[in-house]
């Protein structure tokens, strides 16, 4: 995987190698991000929150939920909601293709309370090590743009990566309030 | 026996706890006076297994304790003893003690030897009260207990063993001669054989044993060692082991035990006052000892002292028990930081206080005897205190703060341990397992059929047909198996309920109330994890109903109610929830007082208007758990906030309905996180939904002539003589139906909360048991949906919440009305 880019010394065995990645190259100031592509832009999420990446598969629709909630799937016995990020970000919808994947994330909502959710994205991209000081705060886009999901912007290899605040983006209150807004509009 | 028994120990504990539960249940079922023989037999068998098991594992304390119980039960079984309420109560108490002992042993904690000795004493007394024959056994048994310190055990010069194998012992593969040889290795042995029961030569069966032996074994031998020799033949012989009086005359034989006993009995009624006075005097005379009691409350300490005194007095004859207990006490006292000089202070104060209470009866002789007795006690305790190795001191200060705390931690620890061990194993009814085995059998048959098919050389049309049917069969087998495996986690709620008869029995006795507990819905299944956590809140609620709900018999009679109060514990499934109701026919909540209290404590504003329900609900507020409420507001509300918090943590709710003078109903609703539901799969559009089977009344094909519109918006269906509103599921859920014409669809008539609606669906699939998964864990609750489940093919299907659907359809109807009004 992309981990090999990190100039890992040729280890004797896998466990040592893993250890060296976590131990030697990551200090407190560095975080690893998994990035994915959505409508040509690269977004990053904290890699420790990623549970798994899986291909798109049929979902069971849940009635009376916002459009971006595609439905729920069975993830080894747990019911996991699937959210289409394109719809969530009001980006034009795209037919799901072979690279379309679901990234299953752990979302922390409130103290000791975590949920598992999946997001549908165009495709996964890479894993980066980003130092905390390399993350810039999101600029103010003005009233028209909701930037509350954006934790910051990072530059990696001259590319911009949008670091997402998944807790804020996916926690249930947010979903509930959006749901309410939809109801009110009706 | 050299192989490792510890692997069986866990099973032994599990079985023993189960045995204890059985004993408890059966003891409660015993009719005093005319006991059912089968019931006694069941209790006896349970006790016997525990005794046998504990003996095998070398848990001699448990074995000897159970033996006394067994002796008692045996007499009951043989009809030699009447079953009295007293006996039942003592047996119940013994069950508790046994449970504590086993928990402590399991957690590798110290045994509460004082409590054990007290209860054992009660058992012994009970035994002694009728047959003297059994007392001898009991008394000797009582003296068998693992000596804590070898040095403290009085010298026994030897034992006389009477051993008569039953005739068939040789056939069981046990050889008496070998046992005698084994005995000879323990000490100096002399034996006399009695051959009087030997029949004439011609009548003699060579495989029978006809001898009996009287063996004298001298030397310093532990009784348990002797018993070990006979361990495997205990039930196949007559065996008595009696100690030979020691040459070392015991010190207390000089004491006038009778005198001590009579004085103690005389003082006993004033016991509590006496000990209270004693501590008062002690602290006055020796202020420095006060610091030793910093970690305990005076009340606890007083009870403890009284218990210790009772123990000492009642065990005066049984020297070894006494010495052991006192030695242990001494060790503990050192841990508290008691200095040796202080013993003198304690005994002199005690003597003076006793004199004060005894008055004229405190003659010189009495004083001298007590002084001697106390000196003996003190010396033994000091010996115990010194016996402890010095190295212990470092830890002791930190680890053993005080009597009271030590006791409470000892009790808590096993409880925790038990919970964790419980979580690791589950008992499943044999039916469920058999069903699974049957299914595996079917699966194997299907598999072999398919593999045979695969090997056929000419694979044609015919084989494809067979293959298809085989695959269908395989699918069915797999699905059934999946369902059944999931059902294993589900247990009937009776596992929780079964502890309540005992609770009610004990508490009603304590509170002087007559209460009948009615259980229903015990077979309602719920998930094991939920079950483990619902126990404590339920205990709390039931105790509450007993204590504060049900009135005393005289109050009840005065209020025109039957003398015996009723508590009804009921469980059932409803709308994706498990509902547990606790109904009492007591006085109900005193709403006025609750409101006054709430206003007083600022929970409610002075001018707030609250409905009765709101007021009743106040008892769940955290502010209502303070101690002074107990007396102010008839006690209700103590710790109710904790109950609500625990139930909420399980994702449930608890509320109360009350009618003054007629009682209260506490209703607990728990989500069936993993509960199983019989469901009917229905198709709407491309989605499959599950309708709970309990809610379904019938399913009918739509006959359009029976569909009537009401004011052009709502539609009703005439089913025989009823008009039932139609809920179009595709409208409610906003999905595209398969059939646009109503006549192609089906109506599923469902009922909830007494209302009927007809759900319009596209098609019906099969019925199946589904395991309910929560949508809320990772998502949120959705109106009209009570949960989700995973179908045989791994996809998710949503479970309909009929109650929710009805309210949605009502809302929609009113929206439509509003719209038309606006238009």
Tell me which residues of chain A have a pLDDT lower than 50. 1-24, 172, 174, 176-186
Residue with tokens 């009260």: B129
Closest in B735, B778, B794 to A79, CB measured: B778
pLDDT of the residue at B254:
52
Q: State which fold the A30-137+158-185 domain adopts.
A: OB fold (Dihydrolipoamide Acetyltransferase, E2P) (2.40.50)
Task: Answer whether A78 sits within 8 Å of B794, measured CB to CB.
Answer: no
pLDDT on residue A3: 41
Write down the pLDDT at residue A145. 61
CATH code at B373?
Answer: 1.10.490.10
Distance in angstroms (rounded) separating the CA atoms of residues B177 and B633: 73
Residue A19 token pair: 């250890």
Residue B638 belongs to a domain with what CATH number? 3.30.565.10
Q: At what angle do helices B113-128 and B60-77 cross, to 10 degrees?
A: 20
Q: State the total domains in chain B.
A: 5
Does residue B498 sit in the same domain as residue B466? Answer: no
| A184 touches B: beta carbon within 8 Å | no
**For residue B627, what pLDDT is reported?**
40
Do B496 and B484 share a domain, yes or no?
Answer: no
Interchain pair A172, B783: CB under 8 A: no
Is B199 domain-assigned? no
Average pLDDT, chain B: 75
Report CA torsion sign: B68, B74, B80, B81: positive
- pTM score of the predicted model: 0.41
- In terms of DSSP bridges, do strands B525-527 and B490-492 run parallel, antiparallel, or are they unpaired? antiparallel
Q: Which residue has the tokens 């003297």?
A: B132
Cα of B482 to nearest chain A Cα, Å: 12
Q: Are residues B646 and B734 in the same domain?
A: no
Domain boundary among B130, B146, B162: B146
The string of pLDDT tens digits covering residues B169-211 is: 777 777 778 788 888 877 777 888 877 778 888 878 777 888 8
* Same domain assignment for residues B612 and B693: no
B793 to chain A: nearest residue by CA?
Answer: A74
| Cα(B216)–Cα(B210) distance, integer angstroms | 20
Tell me, what's the pLDDT at B4?
Answer: 63
Q: Is residue B696 part of a domain?
A: yes
Q: Which of A51, A70, A72, A113 to mutate to test the interface with B (most CBs of B within 10 A)?
A: A72
* Tokens linked to B357: 């209470």
- Does some domain include residue B461? yes
Residues B34 and B81 in one domain: yes
Cα end-to-end span (Å), chain A = 47
Do B484 and B532 fall into the same domain? no
B503 and B647 part of one domain: yes
Burial class of residue B651 (count of CB atoms within 10 Å of its CB; 0-12, 13-18, 19+): middle
Provide the CATH number for the domain around residue B75.
1.20.120.160
Domain of residue B724, CATH code: 2.40.50.180
Domain end point (choices B671, B705, B740): B671
Question: What is the reported pLDDT for B419?
Answer: 40
Residues B501 and B627 grouped into a single domain: yes
What integer pLDDT is reported at residue B44 of this predicted model? 85
Under DSSP, the state recorded for A104 is: E
Euclidean distance between CA atoms B175 and B156, whole angstroms: 28
What is the C-alpha to C-alpha distance for residues B557 and B759, in angstroms, rounded to an integer? 51
Of A58, A64, A79, the CB nearest to B775: A79
β B722-728/B746-752 pair status: unpaired
- Contact A113/A97 with Cβ under 8 angstroms? no
**Contact list, A117 vs chain B (CB under 8 Å):** 778-779
On whether residue B245 sits in a domain, the answer given is no
Q: Which of B446, B469, B488 finishes a domain?
A: B488
Contact yes or no for B734 and A81 at CB 8 A: no
Q: How many residues does chain A have?
A: 186
CB contacts < 8 Å between A and B, how many?
69
The encoded tokens of residue B232 equal: 């495997």
Q: How far is CA B33 from CA B71, B402, B442, in A?
A: 19, 44, 53
Q: What is the pLDDT of residue B150?
A: 39
Chain A contacts in chain B segment 737-796 (CB below 8 A): 773-775, 777-780, 782-785, 788, 790, 794-796
User: For residues B632-641, b (16+ Cβ closer than 10 Å) or e, as one string?
Assistant: bbbebbbebb
Whether residues B643 and B691 share a domain: the answer is no
Output the pLDDT for position A119: 92
Measure A64 CA to nearest chain B CA, in Å. Answer: 6
Q: Which residue of B has its CA nearest to A106?
A: B778
Are B363 and B476 in a shared domain? no
Q: How far apart are CA B535 and CA B670, in angstroms?
A: 13
Do residues B504 and B517 touch, judged by C-beta distance below 8 A?
Answer: yes
B604 and B479 both lie in a single domain: no
Q: Which mean pLDDT values do the consecutive 10-residue runs of chain B (823 residues) have?
A: 65 84 81 74 85 81 85 81 81 87 82 82 78 42 40 58 80 78 79 80 80 80 77 77 58 60 74 76 72 65 72 68 68 64 74 76 73 73 56 38 39 40 63 86 89 83 86 84 74 84 83 86 81 84 83 86 89 80 86 80 74 80 53 48 76 80 87 68 91 85 85 81 87 84 87 80 86 80 85 87 80 58 46
**B744 and B701 within one domain:** yes
Check if A72 contacts B (Cβ < 8 Å). yes
A105: contact with B, CB 8 A cutoff: no
Residue range(s) defining the domain that contains residue B81: 1-146
Would you state the pLDDT for residue B484?
77
Contact B518, B567 (CB under 8 A): yes
Short-list B683, B780, B691, B577, CA closest to A64: B780
A window 111-140, beta carbon within 8 A of B: 115-117
């Amino acid at each position: 995987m992309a981990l090999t880019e990190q100039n890992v010394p040729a280890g004797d065995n896998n466990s040592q190698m893993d250890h060296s990645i976590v131990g030697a190259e990551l200090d407190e100031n560095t975080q690893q991000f998994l990035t994915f592509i959505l409508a040509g832009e690269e977004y990053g999420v904290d890699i420790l929150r990623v549970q798994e990446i899986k291909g798109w598969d049929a979902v069971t629709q849940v009635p009376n939920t916002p459009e971006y909630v595609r439905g729920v799937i069975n993830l080894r016995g747990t019911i996991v909601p699937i959210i289409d990020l394109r719809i969530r970000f009001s980006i034009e919808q795209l037919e799901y293709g072979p690279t379309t994947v679901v990234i299953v994330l752990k979302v922390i909502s409130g103290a000791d309370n975590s949920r598992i959710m999946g997001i549908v994205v165009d495709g996964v991209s890479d894993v980066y090590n980003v130092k905390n000081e390399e993350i810039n705060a999101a600029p103010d886009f003005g009233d028209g743009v909701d930037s509350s999901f954006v934790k910051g912007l990072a530059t990696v290899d001259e590319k911009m990566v949008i670091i997402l605040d998944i807790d804020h983006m996916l926690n249930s209150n947010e979903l509930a309030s959006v749901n309410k807004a939809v109801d009110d509009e009706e | 026996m050299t192989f490792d028994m510890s692997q069986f120990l866990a099973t032994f504990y599990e079985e023993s706890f189960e045995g204890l539960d059985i004993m408890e249940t059966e003891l409660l079922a015993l009719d005093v006076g005319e006991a059912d023989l089968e019931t006694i037999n069941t209790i006896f068998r349970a006790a016997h297994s525990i005794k046998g098991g504990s003996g095998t594992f070398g848990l001699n304390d448990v074995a000897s304790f159970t033996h006394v119980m067994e002796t008692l039960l045996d007499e009951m079984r043989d009809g030699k003893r009447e079953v009295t309420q007293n006996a039942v109560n003592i047996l119940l108490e013994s069950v508790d003690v046994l449970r504590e002992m086993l928990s402590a042993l399991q957690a590798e904690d110290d045994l509460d030897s004082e409590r054990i000795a007290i209860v054992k004493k009660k058992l012994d007394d009970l035994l002694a009260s009728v047959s003297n024959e059994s007392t001898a056994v009991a008394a000797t048994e009582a003296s068998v207990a693992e000596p804590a310190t070898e040095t403290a055990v009085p010298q026994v010069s030897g034992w006389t063993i009477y051993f008569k194998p039953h005739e068939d012992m040789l056939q069981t593969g046990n050889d008496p001669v070998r046992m005698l040889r084994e005995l000879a290795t323990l000490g100096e042995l002399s034996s006399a054989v009695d051959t009087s029961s030997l029949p004439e030569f011609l009548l003699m069966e060579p495989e029978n044993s006809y001898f009996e032996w009287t063996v004298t074994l001298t030397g310093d031998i532990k009784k348990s060692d002797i018993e070990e020799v006979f361990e495997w033949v205990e039930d196949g012989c007559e065996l008595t082991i009696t100690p030979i009086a020691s040459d070392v005359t015991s010190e207390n034989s000089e004491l006038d035990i009778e005198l001590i006993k009579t004085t103690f009995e005389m003082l006993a009624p004033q016991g509590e006052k006496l000990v209270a006075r004693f501590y008062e005097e002690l602290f006055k005379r020796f202020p420095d000892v006060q610091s030793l009691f910093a970690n305990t409350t005076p009340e606890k300490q007083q009870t403890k002292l009284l218990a210790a005194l009772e123990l000492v007095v009642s065990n005066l004859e049984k020297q070894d028990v006494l010495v052991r207990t006192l030695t242990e006490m001494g060790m503990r006292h050192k841990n508290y930081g008691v200095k040796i000089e202080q013993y003198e202070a304690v005994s002199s104060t005690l003597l003076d206080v006793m004199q004060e209470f005894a008055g004229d009866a405190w003659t010189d002789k009495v004083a001298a005897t007590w002084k001697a007795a106390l000196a003996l006690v003190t010396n033994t305790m000091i010996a115990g205190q010194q016996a402890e190795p010095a190295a212990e001191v470092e830890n002791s200060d930190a680890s053993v703060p005080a009597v009271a705390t030590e006791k409470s931690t000892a009790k808590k620890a096993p409880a925790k341990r038990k919970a964790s061990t419980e979580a690791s194993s589950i008992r499943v009814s044999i039916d469920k397992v058999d069903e699974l085995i049957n299914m595996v059998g079917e699966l194997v048959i299907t598999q072999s059929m398919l593999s045979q098919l695969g090997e056929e050389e000419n694979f044609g049309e015919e084989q494809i047909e067979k293959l298809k049917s085989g695959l269908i069969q395989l699918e069915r087998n797999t699905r059934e198996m999946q369902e059944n495996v999931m059902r294993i986690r589900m247990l009937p709620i009776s596992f929780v309920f079964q502890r309540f008869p005992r609770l009610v029995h004990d508490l009603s006795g304590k509170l002087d109330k007559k209460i009948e507990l009615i259980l229903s819905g015990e077979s309602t299944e719920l998930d094991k994890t939920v079950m483990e956590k619902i126990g404590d809140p339920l205990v709390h609620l039931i105790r509450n109903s007993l204590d504060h709900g049900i009135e005393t018999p005289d109050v009840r009679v005065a209020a025109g109610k039957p003398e015996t109060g009723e508590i009804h514990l009921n469980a059932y499934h409803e709308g994706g929830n498990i509902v547990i109701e606790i109904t009492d026919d007591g006085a109900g909540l005193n709403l006025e007082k609750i409101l006054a209290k709430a206003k007083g404590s600022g929970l409610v504003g002075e001018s707030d208007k609250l409905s009765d329900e709101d007021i009743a609900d106040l008892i769940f507020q955290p502010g209502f758990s303070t101690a002074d409420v107990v007396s102010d507001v008839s006690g209700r509300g103590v710790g109710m906030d904790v109950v609500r918090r625990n139930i909420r943590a399980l994702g449930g709710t608890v509320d109360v309905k009350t009618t003054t003078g007629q009682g209260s109903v506490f209703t607990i609703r728990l989500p069936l996180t993993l509960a199983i539901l019989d469901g009917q799969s229905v198709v709407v559009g491309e989605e499959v939904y599950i309708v709970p089977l309990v809610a379904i009344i019938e399913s009918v094909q739509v006959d359009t002539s029976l569909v009537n519109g009401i004011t052009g918006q709502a539609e009703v269906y005439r089913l025989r003589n009823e008009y039932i509103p139609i809920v179009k599921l595709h409208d409610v859920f906003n999905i595209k139906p398969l059939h646009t014409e109503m006549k192609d669809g089906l109506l599923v008539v469902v009922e909830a909360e007494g209302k009927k609606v007809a759900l319009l669906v596209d098609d019906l699939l099969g019925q199946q048991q589904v395991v309910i998964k929560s949508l809320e864990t990772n998502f949120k609750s959705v109106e009209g949906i009570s949960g989700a489940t995973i179908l045989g093919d791994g996809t998710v299907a949503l479970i309909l919440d009929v109650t929710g659907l009805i309210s949605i359809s009502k809302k929609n109807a009113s929206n439509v009305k509003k719209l038309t009004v606006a238009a």
